[in-house]
Amino acid sequence: MDNGVAIARQTHAANEVGSAQVNSGHAPTARLTTPRFALRERSRQEHEATEAAFAPFDISRPDHYRAFLTAHATALPRLELAVTGRGWSSWQPRYPFIADDLAALDAPLPVPMIASDASPVAAWGVQYVLEGSKLGGRMLSARLPHGSPCRYLAAAADMSARWQEFCAALDAEAALGGPGWLDEATEAAIETFQTFRRAADALAGDLP
């Protein structure tokens, strides 16, 4: 997982399209950024802390993989319920995938954690985290032993295209929103990371 953190940082650096350095010649260098990149910057520490919370799960081990999926299945349902029908019109829930994976591993579905209801603006922040988590999932699924059930972590063929679509939709929505849009979306993104982190911490304590 430490390895994963290092790769995450490299991939983030390679993914800087959308933010730009602008220098007028005499003014100090200013950094222009889109709402999506601002959201990433503002929640970067939360992502790092969430990665760290999942670091104890060695998903190449079946027992740890079960616990990893159980943690995600604890956090996910209420968050997904809160944003269904809100935010991105192409958004799709992934709870059915994780339920299939857990069933294939003979693991029961856990009791879902409570998550706050999401306002129409907050839904974008929650969906930013849920959609973005697929990017790391692609990397994580490569660590699974061959034949592991991985509908939840496996990357769909159109994952990158959908992520770009989501980011464009988020930027368009933010442009329509008033002052405070980004703050509200950021707060929801941070709370969403924290929900996953609490789920990871709860399960990590029982890891063999």
Tell me if 177 sits within 8 A of 31, measured CB to CB: no
7 in contact with ligand HEM (CB under 6 A): yes
CA atoms of 92 and 207, how far apart (whole Å): 31
> Residue 57 Cβ, how far from ligand HEM at the closest point, in Å?
7
139 in contact with ligand HEM (CB under 6 A): yes
Instruction: Show the binding pattern over residues 9-28: x = contacts ligand HEM (CB under 6 A), - = does not.
Output: --xx--x-------------
List the one residue from 77, 121, 196, 203 that touches ligand HEM (CB under 6 A): 196
Q: Which stretch binds ligand HEM (CB under 6 A): 103-111, 112-120, 135-143, 178-186?
A: 135-143
43: which residues sit within 8 A by CB, 6+ positions away?
A: 128, 129, 186, 189, 190, 193
CA atoms of 203 and 19, how far apart (whole Å): 37
CA 111 to chain CA mean position, Å: 21
* The token pair that represents 80 in the structure block: 């997904």
Half-sphere exposure of 64 (CA within 13 A, CB side): 15
Instruction: Show the binding pattern over residues 59-88: x = contacts ligand HEM (CB under 6 A), - = does not.
Output: ------------------------------
Half-sphere exposure of 8 (CA within 13 A, CB side): 23
Q: Which stretch binds ligand HEM (CB under 6 A): 25-33, 50-58, 89-97, 116-124?
A: 50-58
40 in contact with ligand HEM (CB under 6 A): yes
List the one residue from 47, 66, 86, 94 that touches ligand HEM (CB under 6 A): 47
> Residue 8 Cβ, how far from ligand HEM at the closest point, in Å?
4
102 in contact with ligand HEM (CB under 6 A): no
- Closest to ligand HEM by CB, 24 vs 134, is 134
133 in contact with ligand HEM (CB under 6 A): yes
- Closest to ligand HEM by CB, 14 vs 27, is 14
Query: Residue 32 pairs with which residues in a beta bridge?
Result: 20
- Ramachandran bin of 48, using left for φ above 0, alpha for ψ from -120 to 50, beta for the remaining angles: alpha
